[in-house]
Amino acid sequence: MTTKTLRRSVLRACGHWIGNVYRPPAGLLLPSGHIVGVAPDHVKHLFKIPSLVKFKADIEFLARHYEPLPLAELRRIGQAGGCEREAPKHFLLSFDDGMREIYDVIAPFLRAQGIPAVFFLNSETIDNKALMWRHEVSLLIAASQRHPERIPSQLELSRGETVRARLLALRFSDGPILKDLAASLEVDFGEYLRRNRPYLTTEQVLELARQGFEFGAHSAKHPYFKEIQLQSQRQEISESVDFVRALGLPCRYFAFPFDDNGVPRSVFEYMRSIGLVLSFGTSDARIDSVPFSLQRFALDAENSDSSLSKLLEQLSAKSLAFRTTRAEVIRRN
């Protein structure tokens, strides 16, 4: 049993008897995801996504036990600069990366249920201008599984390391070698974009905005922020915010790609200076020392098979563990 599996087992066991002790800012649950249904090749090798049946069950559970937060109230929370921690009363859904399933699957269901959501966009991929680098990695893994005899020399595998593991270990800075790897594995990223159209178009974004959904920024190229320089962090934020606002939409929110671990306070101050109202990370049961930074929890990845009720039990268990060890508050330098 791996350390991660053991930790999840302990959280499941503890959550069952701990009950709901999680007290998020403003009593607001922030479940997040990417897509639902059947995972396309550009996603399927990165993380697991919930089935449509599970997604609908999760939303129905939320609607029975909590109130969906009106988007105007989200703006108020941000403008207040932080709110008291209390038992959850409301929830707000958000989805990252601007993939087409938002338009085809997620938004129609949410609209029928009268449930709002925020969709976070990567400016370089909208209108299918380019593939996000991690999506390229997933396509390379799919190709390597179709042709296991091909082992690209650029990967420089360690003894016992698999091609899949090495590809998943690639970082944002490894982007320049992805095209070389694609040539070695005979993957045509451009053809995949043209054939599958994996991302939202500008027209779809504007249509969803007219339906009452809100859009925020999610960076330009989806890097790990802790691995890029401060100037690049600010540029990634500003480029994506400017893109959304150029569509005539009031971009008020920014969600960090991957996580906001190690992002310094100065970057959050910069976000405020360009008119952002709220920031979103992915540290679920923790509380940020920056008042307008809220932490979400995932409905996909390792949580894709767990019912939402179990996830909330685990969230409470993690929250209690963080409090006990005095690690609940995220400190910023």
Backbone dihedral angles phi then psi of residue 250, each to the nearest 5 degrees: -85, 85
User: Among positive and negative, which fits the CA dihedral 224, 99, 197, 152?
Assistant: positive
**Average pLDDT of the residues in 90-98:** 97
Domain boundary among 175, 193, 211: 193
**Average pLDDT of the residues in 39-65:** 95
Domain boundary among 170, 193, 216: 193
Q: How confident is the model at residue 12 (pLDDT cuts 50, 70, 90)?
A: low
Q: How far is CA 126 from CA 99, 100, 117, 279, in A?
A: 8, 10, 18, 21
Q: How confident is the model at residue 17 (pLDDT cuts 50, 70, 90)?
A: very low
* Residue 280, both tokens: 């979103």
The pLDDT of residue 3: 54
Query: Residue 84 maps to which CATH number?
Result: 3.20.20.370
Per-residue pLDDT for 18 more than 60?
A: no
More confident position, 17 or 170: 170
Backbone dihedral angles phi then psi of residue 311, each to the nearest 5 degrees: -60, -40
Query: Worst-scoring range by mean pLDDT, 183-197, 225-239, 303-317?
Result: 303-317
Domain residues for the domain of 155 are 133-193
CB 42 within 8 A of CB 54: no
DSSP 8-state assignment for residue 47 = -
Per-residue pLDDT for 6 more than 50?
A: no
Buried b vs exposed e over 68-93: b needs ≥16 C-beta within 10 Å? bbebebbbebbeeebbeeeebebbbb
Q: Are residues 122 and 226 in the same domain?
A: yes
Exposed (0-12), middle (13-18) or buried (19+): which is 275, by Cβ within 10 Å? exposed
Per-residue pLDDT for 20 more than 90?
A: no
Whole-prediction pTM: 0.92
Q: How confident is the model at residue 87 (pLDDT cuts 50, 70, 90)?
A: confident
Q: Which of helix, strand or coil describes residue 317?
A: helix
Q: Are residues 218 and 166 in the same domain?
A: no
Q: What is the mean pLDDT of the chain?
A: 92
Q: How confident is the model at residue 236 (pLDDT cuts 50, 70, 90)?
A: very high
**Average pLDDT of the residues in 164-193:** 95
Q: How far is CA 292 from CA 25, 117, 180, in A?
A: 10, 18, 41
The pLDDT of residue 81: 63
Name the amino acid, one letter, at 16. H
% residues pLDDT > 90 (the chain): 81
The pLDDT of residue 1: 54
Q: How far is CA 71 from CA 6, 68, 74, 241, in A?
A: 38, 9, 5, 18
Q: Are residues 148 and 210 in the same domain?
A: no
The pLDDT of residue 82: 61
The pLDDT of residue 21: 79
The pLDDT of residue 304: 82
Q: Are residues 221 and 143 in the same domain?
A: no
The pLDDT of residue 75: 86
Q: Are residues 22 and 68 in the same domain?
A: yes
Q: Are residues 12 and 43 in the same domain?
A: yes
Looking at the structure of the chain, the number of domains it has is 2
What's the pLDDT tens digit per position in 254-306?
Answer: 999 999 999 999 999 999 999 999 999 999 989 999 999 999 999 998 888 88
**Which H helix or E strand runs over 241?**
helix 230-246
Domain boundary among 193, 215, 241: 193
Per-residue pLDDT for 15 more than 60?
A: no
Q: How confident is the model at residue 2 (pLDDT cuts 50, 70, 90)?
A: low
**Average pLDDT of the residues in 117-146:** 97
Q: Are residues 313 and 231 in the same domain?
A: yes
Query: Worst-scoring range by mean pLDDT, 9-13, 125-129, 314-318?
Result: 9-13
Q: Are residues 54 and 145 in the same domain?
A: no
